[in-house]
Amino acid sequence: MNLNKPKTWTLLLAALGAAMAAPAHAGKTLDAIKARGQIICGVSTGVHGFSAADSGGKWSGLDVDVCKALAAATLRDPEKVKYVPLASQQRFTALQSGEVDLLARNTTFTLTRDASQGLSSTVANYYDGQGFMVPAKSKLKGAKQLKGQTVCVQSGTTSEKNLASFSKANGLNIKPVVFEQFEAANAAYFSGRCVAYTTDASGLASIRMKEAKNPKEHVILPDLISKEPLGPMVRRGDDEWFAIVKWVMYGLLEAEEYGVTQANVDKMKASTDPVVQRLLGGGNEDTGKLLGLDKEWLARAIKATGNYGESFERNVGPASALGLPRGLNNQWNKGGLMYAYPIR
């Protein structure tokens, strides 16, 4: 091919442009979801604020909202979700085997999980760190005061490995008391079998609120001994599904940044702001075709759960039962780490 001829360059660029603008194929995972009429979402066995069922079997939480937003975007109905509770030891096998379409289960992104288990990390929906909870009567003020003490921890988690590393690095000779089941670890700590309990700080807040007879009798120490970026994971090998999960989450973040809420989504469709038009499928904008979806995919997701900030406040924020500060999970332009890739 003679690329020196202007006509040849024109034809080549036109072909590339057509390829880039072509609608995306939905992908095998979305095809299966549409065929069954339901997203199968792997969640925790009960972490209040993230994924937990009430006495009537209704699921709610920050991670549950990810599943609902995806169902709204892909199936036009946020209730078309089957929630599968998974223990820490089960979660990756369930995803690898195709038992679930995604994990939305307060799972930490790590190199090993992302690179060697046939899984792909999507977007962090909560930046956390591992902490310690102790009885207030213990008078302990910091994690390094746990030298030689027993600490309850769940097996098959990053928490177990982080605890061992922290103990070794600081010469603390901490004695881990390891449990396979989340519920067993909780019961052991509150029965006094361990001096402290360690897991993600948000998880400790959930456990204290849900399990303690009197939450004020337990203190979460200020020390954080790790970085724990939590978020949904999908199976490797379906780029189309990976893109949908990723961009639904970025869309909820971008909606918050541009003031699009659960309540005003329909009104905002009339906005002349190009970014808002792309978010909501206004005017001639149609980002959905690039994902194998229709043009109002994201508008439905926002209407189902609200933007990221609304979901955070409702499930885990200062006004919720957990009462967690926004902190690192604030928008990038408000001192946090939440930064959406542009919807364009």
For the segment 218-256, what is each residue's pLDDT rounded down to a tens digit?
999 999 999 999 999 999 999 999 999 999 999 999 999
The answer on pLDDT for 9 being more than 60 is no
Percent pLDDT > 90 in the chain is: 88
Amino acid letter for position 27: G
* pLDDT grade for 24, boundaries at 50, 70 and 90: low
With both helix axes pointing from N to C terminus, report the angle between 28-36 and 239-257 in degrees, rounded to the nearest 10.
80
With both helix axes pointing from N to C terminus, report the angle between 239-257 and 62-75 in degrees, rounded to the nearest 10.
110
Amino acid letter for position 207: I
The pLDDT of residue 25 = 63
User: Chain-centre distance of CA 93, in angstroms?
Assistant: 18
Strand partners, 150: 175
| CA gap 327, 208 in Å, rounded | 20
Report the length, in residues, of the chain: 344
* pLDDT grade for 11, boundaries at 50, 70 and 90: very low
The pLDDT of residue 19 = 44
Average pLDDT over residues 263-270: 96
| CA gap 67, 172 in Å, rounded | 41
Percent pLDDT > 70 in the chain is: 92
Query: What does the mean pLDDT of the chain come to?
Result: 92
The pLDDT of residue 15 = 46
The answer on pLDDT for 68 being more than 60 is yes
User: What's the first-to-final CA gap in the chain, in angstroms?
Assistant: 33
The pLDDT of residue 14 = 47
The answer on pLDDT for 13 being more than 60 is no
Lowest pLDDT segment from 6-10, 251-255, 263-267: 6-10
User: Which has the higher per-residue pLDDT, 7 or 194?
Assistant: 194
The pLDDT of residue 4 = 53
The answer on pLDDT for 1 being more than 50 is no
The pLDDT of residue 181 = 87
All domains of the chain, ordered by start, with CATH?
28-127+230-334 (3.40.190.10), 130-226 (3.40.190.10)
Average pLDDT over residues 276-303: 96
Task: Tell me the CA distances in angstroms from 323 to 70, 209, 284, one per residue in order.
Answer: 26, 10, 42
Average pLDDT over residues 273-301: 96
Lowest pLDDT segment from 15-24, 192-201, 211-220, 289-298: 15-24
Structure tokens at 331: 């928008």
Average pLDDT over residues 2-16: 49
The pLDDT of residue 18 = 44
The answer on pLDDT for 82 being more than 70 is yes
* pLDDT grade for 182, boundaries at 50, 70 and 90: confident
The pLDDT of residue 292 = 96
The answer on pLDDT for 5 being more than 80 is no
- Residue 60 · residue 315 · CB < 8 Å: yes
Single pTM value for the model: 0.87
